[in-house]
């Protein structure tokens, strides 16, 4: 596989594209929204320069990575891909439309991977004529740093496709671990109830944002508190994942907390919108707790 396409240039798509480009793959990063593409370009530029400053990469690697990347809003540009990784909004209908359209643009050998956090891979493949090529490739945020890729086999995924994706994941210096096709897989089935419970604790006045996050960092050894992590993931994404698990697993414990729903309705989505449980207007560091959540 030499030509990779990434669909969706948001929080995850730009990290996935950067990682592949840094490992010498030709990458087309596609989005319907031109602003997302411009933001992705500038985020990748900043990330690469941060890595240079830390002496993790050199000038030549920056140049090659930059040359390996094409930013596009033309679907045609995806046609010669060997692997397409979809990283668009966490919504089944939106994803299904994109994959159906991809079928008429890509060759039969092209593998279709979804970075979905919770949607069934089997369901995503259901309306496609070649279901065997569809697989879940669930990268973690931030992609350039996190080692894990959760690999999810749908009921139709061929063993050949799984093997290729596992080998391929290793080739970009990531660690593939497999999970079966249940809503939320493993990572979000365990993580999201914790985030939801932290929001519930905040909402019922058990403690404030700084203390909840501090207790989980210092007491449990988590690198980041659950509310700060929710801001990083995107509160809209957290809400969608919980809704999918709530419906798919038919269990009340996954119902998104009301405060989470309110914040999403107000457009407070976390880091990407500038405010969630923390305020990010001056810097991307979550140091300023929004007054609303301080005691």
Q: Locate tokens 């671990």: which residue?
A: 177
Bond into 125 cis (ω within 30) = no
User: CA-to-CA distance for 65 and 262, rounded, in angstroms?
Assistant: 40
Nearest residue to 137 via CA among 173, 81, 175, 109: 175
Please tell me whether the peptide bond between 212 and the residue prior to it is cis, using omega within 30 degrees of 0. no
Q: Point out the residues that are catalytic.
A: 117, 138, 150, 188
Per CB under 6 A, which of residues 82..121 are in contact with ligand NAD? 87-90, 94, 98, 115-117
Least separation in angstroms between CB 91 and ligand NAD = 8
- Least CB distance to ligand NAD at residue 187 (A): 8
- Rounded to a whole number of angstroms, the minimum distance from the CB of residue 24 to ligand NAD is 23
Give the helix, strand, coil percentages of the chain, each rounded to 5: 50, 15, 35
Q: 65: closest CA among 86, 93, 87, 44?
A: 44
273 binds ligand NAD (CB under 6 A): no
CA 123 – CA 156 distance, rounded (Å): 10
Instruction: Determine the straight-line distance between the first and last CA of the chain, rounded to whole angstroms.
Output: 53
Cβ of residue 86: shortest distance to ligand NAD, in angstroms?
8
Selection from 155, 179, 37, 149 nearest residue 83 by Cα:
149
Per-residue x/- track, 39-78, ligand NAD (CB under 6 A): ----------------------------------------
Binding mask 231-270 for ligand NAD (x = CB under 6 A): --xx--x---------------------------------
Helix H segments across 137-250? 159-171, 187-203, 209-214, 220, 226-233, 235-248
CB 151 within 8 A of CB 137: yes
Site string for ligand NAD, 172-191 (x = CB under 6 A): --------------------
Quick one: which segment of 27-35, 102-110, 169-177, 189-197 binds ligand NAD (CB under 6 A)? Answer: 27-35
Using the rule CB under 6 A, give the single segment among 9-17, 53-61, 202-210, 254-262 that binds ligand NAD: 9-17
Residue of minimal CB distance from ligand NAD?
10
Least spacing, CB of residue 140 vs ligand NAD, in Å: 6
Structure tokens at 9: 């240039």
Pick the closer one to ligand NAD by CB: 84 or 98.
Answer: 98
Say whether residue 2 binds ligand NAD (CB under 6 A). no
Give the interface with ligand NAD as residue ranges (CB under 6 A).
Answer: 7-13, 31-33, 36, 87-90, 94, 98, 115-117, 138-139, 141, 233-234, 237, 272
């Amino acid at each position: 596989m030499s030509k990779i396409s990434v669909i969706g240039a948001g929080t995850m798509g730009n990290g996935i594209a950067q990682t592949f480009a840094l490992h010498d793959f030709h990458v087309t990063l596609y989005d319907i929204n031109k602003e997302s593409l411009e933001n992705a370009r500038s985020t990748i530029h900043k990330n690469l320069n941060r890595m240079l400053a830390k002496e993790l990469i050199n000038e030549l690697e920056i140049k090659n990575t930059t040359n390996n990347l094409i930013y596009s809003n033309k679907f045609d540009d995806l046609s010669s891909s060997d692997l397409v990784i979809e990283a668009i909004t966490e919504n089944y209908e939106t994803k299904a439309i994109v994959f159906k359209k991809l079928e008429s643009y890509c060759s039969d050998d092209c593998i279709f991977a979804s970075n979905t956090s919770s949607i069934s891979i089997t369901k995503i493949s259901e309306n496609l004529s070649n279901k065997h090529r569809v697989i879940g490739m669930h990268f973690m945020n931030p992609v350039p740093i996190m080692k894990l890729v959760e690999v999810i086999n749908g009921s139709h995924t061929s063993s050949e496709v799984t093997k290729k994706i596992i080998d391929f994941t290793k080739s970009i210096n990531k660690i593939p671990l497999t999970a079966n096709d249940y809503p939320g897989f493993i990572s979000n089935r365990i993580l999201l109830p914790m985030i939801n419970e932290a929001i519930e604790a905040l909402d019922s006045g058990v403690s404030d944002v700084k203390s909840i996050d501090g207790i989980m960092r210092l007491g449990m050894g988590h690198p980041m508190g659950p509310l700060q992590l929710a801001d990083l993931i995107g509160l809209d994404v957290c809400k969608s994942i919980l809704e999918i698990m709530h419906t798919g697993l038919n269990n009340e414990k996954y119902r998104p907390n009301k405060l989470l729903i309110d914040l999403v309705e107000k457009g407070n989505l976390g880091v990407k919108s500038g405010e969630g449980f923390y305020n990010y207007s001056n810097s991307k560091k979550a140091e300023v707790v929004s007054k609303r959540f301080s005691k």
